[in-house]
Chain A
Amino acid sequence: MHSAIANPQADQAQQHEHVSLPQHRHHFATPEQQREAGSFGMWLFLLTEIMFFGGLFFAYLLFRNWYYDAFVTASNQLSVPLGAVNTAILITSGFFMALAVWAAEVRKKNLLVLFLVLTTLLGFAFLGIKADEYHEKYEKHHIPGASFDTSQFINPAAYGLSEKPLAPDAAQKTQLFFFLYFAMTGMHALHMVLGLGILFWLMIRAQRGDFSSGYVAPIENFGLYWHFVDIVWIFLFPLLYLINRHPLAH
């Protein structure tokens, strides 16, 4: 809370001028200013997030360029159906989040809670599928580190894969792909987990009726964050799952 030792005169003046919302912080002249500041701050924060992921994207593009064959083969290990389902889930989740913002704006409390719950459930669905994918990587020894196993790439026929075999030195480079895969999707998943935590908090507050009086800034700003997490995935999905893939037919 902002310090309660505000000047009583200033408080009175504000109460005369504006319809005072309980969420209004006294260092803002108007609620409008507070709302604008909040969303501007959120946009800036997302900008820092872009720079943050930017470093990883840069590393990915560099190594993809250097070790194209290894990245192609390793990329074929990712499941496009699962990735696509996850993309759909995330977009739908984003859609419900947008509806939640709308519900808050029209002050429909129950609808807001419902949409937040749906957003959350889809978020969990995404993470569940992601966890399943990670588990598969674990079973195939595709997690970088001491137990990483390249034999599947060197001798795909033995694993029943119609994949072009990689020379051992190239097969080693698949480890870089998987490291970047885990780093990037892991960082994305971490943002999802944080987002889900905030969603729970928002649900509680929405249930309490905090957002039923026209004060929607937290919902709006969280919406921005959630859409940003969506967008990161929209970049990750083609980069990791799709663009390197070659048709298995030839």
Chain B
Amino acid sequence: MSAPSNTILNLPDQSTAQLPRRNFINAEHGLLSWLFTSDHKRIAILYLISITFFFFIGGAFAGLIRLELLTPQPDLVSSDTYNKFFTMHGIIMIFLFLVPSVPATLGNFLIPMMIGARDLAFPKINLLSWYLYVIGGTLTLTALVLGGVDTGWTFTAPLSTHYLNTHVITTAFAIFVAGFSSVFTGLNFIVTIHRMRCPGMTWFRMPLFVWAHYAASILMVLGTPVLAIAMILIVLERLVGIGVFDPTKGGDPLLFQHLFWFYSHPAVYIMILPGMGVISEVVSTFSRKRIFGYTAVAFSSVAIALFGFFVWEHHMFIMGVSNYSALIFSLLTMLVAVPSAIKIFNWCFTLQMGSITFETPMLYAFGFMGLFTIGGLTGVFLGSLGMDIQLTETYFIVAHFHFVMVGGMLMAFLAGVHFWWPKMTGRMYPESLSKLAAVVTFIGFILTFMPQFVLGYLGMPRRYHAYPPEFQVLNVLSTAGATILGIGYLMPMIYLAWSLKYGAIAGNNPWQATGLEWQTQSPPLTENFTEIPIMDHEAYDYDWLEHKTADEVTHVA
């Protein structure tokens, strides 16, 4: 089959092709068959629907925030309402979108398939974690409907414990519950990766996507319980009022900061690592090459996870922590930046000598690499002790965080969704429209968040409802960018939905990718494989794939 030279896309003949007669989507029917499923793929779809729902709610709040900041005066809503906007934006986006985004959807769907297993080790616990997520999400929405919460997503004590009369308890409990959803997902992944690999699937034959999830899972399992206890203490402090965080009663508000950031810093690695896994898969597939320095990329994920636990205090450099601990935490922060740099360069050099095509997932991956580089390097600004004094708690931090999380993670998520869409649904998304969306997203993103770096150094504090008029130009730019960004995110929503019915039939392996998940039908069977595969080649072995394809052509039934 001779493919056009600008794409690797290899679709079956559309006039005869049809979706597999039996697959996980039509295996059972009715809503209940979804709600009581224990199939990791169906749970992944449930997650995909629910996180998309919360993404657009969180996004709506972002839109309202940017709309308010169009003018320096506090004119659109009251200050309390504005405070609720950014709080809900933060809580929904972080706990209900970013943390579960790639792991719970793509990870859930793909990890068992990639390592040649029939399901995750604990399918019922997997379903339980979706229900916990839904309960957490519902509680958050309840808090929102009852009047919202205005603690900021960081729940800073004693503000959250003694000074606010909003629905802090409901929200804290929501996060507690959603946290356990994340713990169980991580636990399931670790056990699955340790115990469920198919014959021949050694640790160093696993796709890097799996390595990245393994590292993120360690963080989920060890970090989230500390957040849980911090949330419990917030709730108890509000209910009983006995000041572990209240200085007038002998408590220590910095204790809360330590407990909170002990989770919430590793949490950003929980969010970004799976995204990095997606990028590894995409870059390899669209350059037809094994990832440059596979081992280094695999170990850098684990290194990020380990170092990630020992840098939390860099959120507290200006809070009067001891100088020695500030030094140590700054140094460790610098060290944790190195594995990310390694990854970026390894991905770049994967392209070298490759045979590169530029389908949508690859465009998103390029976007990721560019934006994550900026996001990562601006993180070095913040890790550098003295610089942090000027930049922390300003829009610089907002911009840095969004470069990593939206520019990095969301780009990776969209890359992954497009890349595996044919596997998940059996149909292709419309290629040129999605390329347009990728470009629009990139432009909108740069326009939204680049001005915020400047605003930050100028000193505009984050979470400000009104601001001095000289900051208006940059804020207007940012809001304009956010509008474009919003369009960029709505487009995939629409055309992906369209493609469910009208997209081209994808066939087993439209991208000619090497992962085990591509060697089976799309959408896959409930049990993933008709027989458990045997991994007899290295990961990203394109020669193996070529021979296999040749074999199949000669042995076609």
Q: Do any beta carbons of A and B sit within 8 angstroms of each other in the complex?
A: yes
Residue of A nearest to B227 (CB): A55
Query: Which residues 234-287 in B have Cβ within 8 Å of A in the complex?
Result: 236, 240-244, 249-252, 255, 258-259, 262
Distance in angstroms between the alpha carbons of A153 and B117 in the assembled complex: 62
Q: Which of B38, B188, B228 contacts A52 (CB 8 A)?
A: B228
Q: Which residue on B lies nearest to A169, using beta carbons?
A: B250
Chain A residues with Cβ under 8 A from B240's Cβ? 144-145, 179
Is A66 within 8 A of B250, CB to CB? yes
Kindly list chain B residues whose C-beta atoms are within 8 Å of the C-beta of A144.
240, 242
Chain B residues within 8 Å of A49, by CB: 225
Q: Which residues of A contact B255 (CB under 8 A)?
A: 59, 62
Interface of B is mostly: helix
- Known A27-B118, A55-B229, A55-B259; judge A176-B191 contact (CB<8 A): no
A138 lies within 8 A of chain B by Cβ: no
The 8 A CB mask of B105-141 against A (1 = contact, 0 = none) is 0000000100001111111110000000000000000
Say yes or no: is B408 at the interface (Cβ < 8 Å to chain A). no
Contact yes or no, B196 A47, CB < 8 A: no
User: A183 with B531: in contact, given A26-B118, A55-B259, A175-B249 (CB under 8 Å)?
Assistant: no
Q: Are B122 and A41 in contact (CB under 8 A)?
A: yes
Chain A minimum-CB-distance residue to B27: A5
Contact residues in B for A56 (Cβ distance below 8 Å) = 229
**Does any Cβ of A come within 8 Å of B183's Cβ?**
yes
Residue B388 interfacial (CB < 8 Å): no
Chain A residue numbers with a CB within 8 Å of B225 are 48-49, 51-52, 54-55
Query: Number of B residues whose C-beta is below 8 Å from A?
Result: 55
Known pairs A10-B530, A40-B194, A175-B242; A2 contacts B222 (CB<8 A) = no
Q: What residue of chain A has the Cβ atom nearest to residue B112's Cβ?
A: A27
Cβ–Cβ < 8 Å partners of B531 in chain A: 9-10, 13
**Could you say which of A29-37, A120-128, A227-235 contacts chain B?**
A29-37
Cα separation A227 to B249 with both chains bound (whole Å): 36
- The reply on A215 being an interface residue by CB < 8 A is no
Q: Which residue of B lies closest to A148 (CB)?
A: B242
In chain A between 74 and 88, which residues have their CB closer than 8 angstroms to a CB of chain B?
none
On whether the beta carbons of B196 and A33 are closer than 8 Å, the reply is: yes
B344 to chain A, nearest CB (A): 31
Least CB separation from A53: chain B residue: B229
**By the criterion CB–CB under 8 Å, are B250 and A176 in contact?**
yes
Central interface residue in B191, B233, B249, by most chain A CB within 10 Å: B191
The minimal Cβ–Cβ distance linking B244 to chain A, given in whole angstroms, is 6
Question: Which residues does chain B contribute within 8 Å of A6, judged by CB atoms?
Answer: 526-527
**Interface residues as binary, A10-34 with B (CB distance below 8 Å gives 1, 0 otherwise):** 1001000000000001111100010
Verify if A44 is at the interface (C-beta below 8 Å from B): yes
In Å, the complex CA distance between A204 and B191 comes to 28
Q: Does A200 interact with chain B (Cβ within 8 Å)?
A: no
Taking a contact as CB atoms under 8 Å apart, the answer to whether B119 and A27 are in contact is yes
Q: How far is the CA of A42 from the CA of B240 in the complex (A)?
A: 33
Q: Are A48 and B221 in contact (CB under 8 A)?
A: yes
User: Which residue of chain B has its CB nearest to the CB of A179?
Assistant: B242
A6 to B229, CA, bound (A): 41
Per the bound structure, the CA–CA distance linking A49 and B125 in Å amounts to 17
- How many A residues, CB 8 Å from partner? 47
Instruction: Give the Cβ gap from B255 to chain A, nearest Cβ, in Å.
Output: 6
- The answer to whether A176 and B242 have CB atoms under 8 Å apart is yes
**Which of A27, A33, A172, A180 has the most chain B CB atoms inside 10 A of its CB?**
A27
Q: Does B94 contact A (CB under 8 A)?
A: no
Separation of A25 and B233 alpha carbons in the complex (Å) = 39
Contact with B along A168-197 (1 / 0, CB 8 A): 000011011001100100000000000000
B411 at the interface (CB under 8 A from A): no
Answer yes or no: B525 CB below 8 A from chain A CBs: yes
Interface presence of B166 (CB below 8 A): no
Q: Are B123 and A48 in contact (CB under 8 A)?
A: no
Give chain B residues whose Cβ lies under 8 Å from the Cβ of A9.
530-531
**A151 to chain B: closest CB distance in Å?**
17
Q: Is B504 an interface residue (CB 8 A)?
A: no
Say yes or no: A67-B527 contact (C-beta < 8 A), given A5-B28, A45-B187, A56-B229.
Answer: no
Q: A2, A5, A62: which contacts B119 (Cβ < 8 A)?
A: A2
- The residue of chain A having its C-beta at the shortest distance from the C-beta of B40 within the complex is A27
Is B223 an interface residue when CB atoms closer than 8 A count as contact?
Answer: yes
Q: For residue A6, which residue of chain B has the nearest CB? A: B527
Residues of B within 8 A of A172 (CB): 249-250
What is the minimal beta-carbon distance from A72 to any residue of chain B, in angstroms?
15
Least Cβ distance of A221 to chain B in Å?
Answer: 11
B195 touches A48 (CB 8 A): no
CB interface residues, B 72-86, toward A, < 8 Å: none
For window 89-147 of chain A, which residues contact chain B by CB distance below 8 Å? Answer: 144-146
Asked if A67 and B241 make an inter-chain contact with CB atoms under 8 angstroms apart, the answer reads: no
Is the pair B526, A51 in contact by a Cβ cutoff of 8 Å? no
**Chain B residue nearest in CB terms to A13:** B531
B195 contacts A36, CB within 8 Å? Answer: yes
Q: A-facing mask of B192-233, CB < 8 A → 1, else 0?
A: 101110000000000000000000000001111110111011
Q: How many Å lie between the Cα of A26 and that of B223 in the bound state?
A: 32
Which of A3, A10, A29 has the largest count of B CB atoms less than 10 A from its CB? A3
Q: Given the known A-B contacts A3-B38, A176-B251, are A40 and B191 also in contact in the complex, defined by CB atoms under 8 Å? A: yes
In the complex, how many angstroms separate the beta carbon of B491 from the nearest chain A beta carbon?
35
Q: Can you name the residue of chain A whose Cβ is closest to the Cβ of B116?
A: A29
Query: Is A68 engaged at the interface, CB distance under 8 Å to the other chain?
Result: no
CA distance A40 to B252 in the complex (A): 37
Report the bound CA distance from A146 to B39 in whole Å: 50
Known: A51-B223, A145-B242. A40 touches B195 (CB 8 A): yes
Which A residues touch B357, using CB under 8 A?
none
Once bound together, how far apart are the Cα atoms of A13 and B120, in whole Å? 21
Residues of chain B with a CB closer than 8 A to A222's CB: none
- What are the residues of chain A within 8 A of B27 when measuring CB–CB? 3, 5
How far is it, in angstroms, between the C-alpha of A68 and the C-alpha of B225 when the chains are bound? 28
CB interface residues, B 342-380, toward A, < 8 Å:
none
A143 to B21: give the CA distance in the assembly, Å: 65
> What 12 additional pairs, Cβ within 8 angstroms, besides A41-B122, A44-B221?
A5-B28, A7-B525, A25-B123, A40-B195, A41-B188, A41-B191, A48-B221, A55-B233, A55-B259, A62-B252, A63-B250, A179-B242
Sample (20) of A-B pairs whose CB atoms are under 8 Å apart? A3-B123, A5-B527, A10-B530, A26-B118, A27-B112, A33-B196, A41-B121, A47-B222, A48-B224, A52-B225, A52-B226, A56-B229, A62-B255, A63-B251, A144-B242, A145-B240, A176-B243, A179-B236, A183-B232, A183-B236
A-B pairs, top 6 by smallest CB distance, nearest first, are A55-B229, A52-B225, A27-B119, A27-B118, A144-B242, A51-B225
Contacts from A to B (Cβ < 8 Å): 1-3, 5-7, 9-10, 13, 25-29, 33, 36-37, 40-41, 44-45, 47-49, 51-56, 58-59, 62-63, 66-67, 144-146, 148, 172-173, 175-176, 179-180, 183
